[in-house]
Structure 1
């Protein structure tokens, strides 16, 4: 396998941590990652030390292991490995034909009235609810990053 750059390893590590954080069973330690991985992997066991290297960006797993990690976390292989979105067939019209909504992305960076209203509502919420909203937005943004229509 080709040697990855430090930036590639670190970017993979960030994507892996994001994928692990969004799962039903949150995996946050190298030991938990190794155990969960080994339940799905039929090759030589992965050690917590190897999982630690994946999580810290000092090493990347082989492509076949990345496939298992992607299946394990429910994310596209191309996104986990390269940061590229994968096409998801939603059965609906292509994104280019989808009807625009008032929440559609504004390309020029202008803040819309809806966004200002949303921000004012967010500021009125207690800290715990703001954190829930932040987590939800982070999850939805990650989902958009992983999949294209």
Structure 2
């Protein structure tokens, strides 16, 4: 396994296979320890990257590390983080919408904020061909959040 900083750097790679392999390794590490949480600022910066794949990976890593957010960095940056749910690229928005319930599970204090953001997404300006898919994803995410204990 590579060093964590090398795996994080790989998230910016244009080689999608390499980047997603690194993403998978980082997610696995994040599931069992807080070793990756120290790169939170990197993940936050990724949300503003011009590359849509990098933005998506950043959101996934933020969600994957939410359980370790003892310093409430997610809470402090929630507006910036949730902007990706309205990403101009519907594929990015859809992938992140599907991960929103995982964030809500780890951050119960942010559930109302997440639900409000998701409900706003029901009025999207995506092309008609994508609207029904986004609506379905949003509805599923809302239902998953509402069913959390």
| TM-score, with structure 1 as normaliser | 0.25
For the pair shown, the structure with the greater C-alpha radius of gyration is 1
Report the structure, 1 or 2, having the larger helix content.
2
| TM-score, with structure 2 as normaliser | 0.25
Q: Which has the higher contact order (CA 8 A, sep 6+)?
A: 1
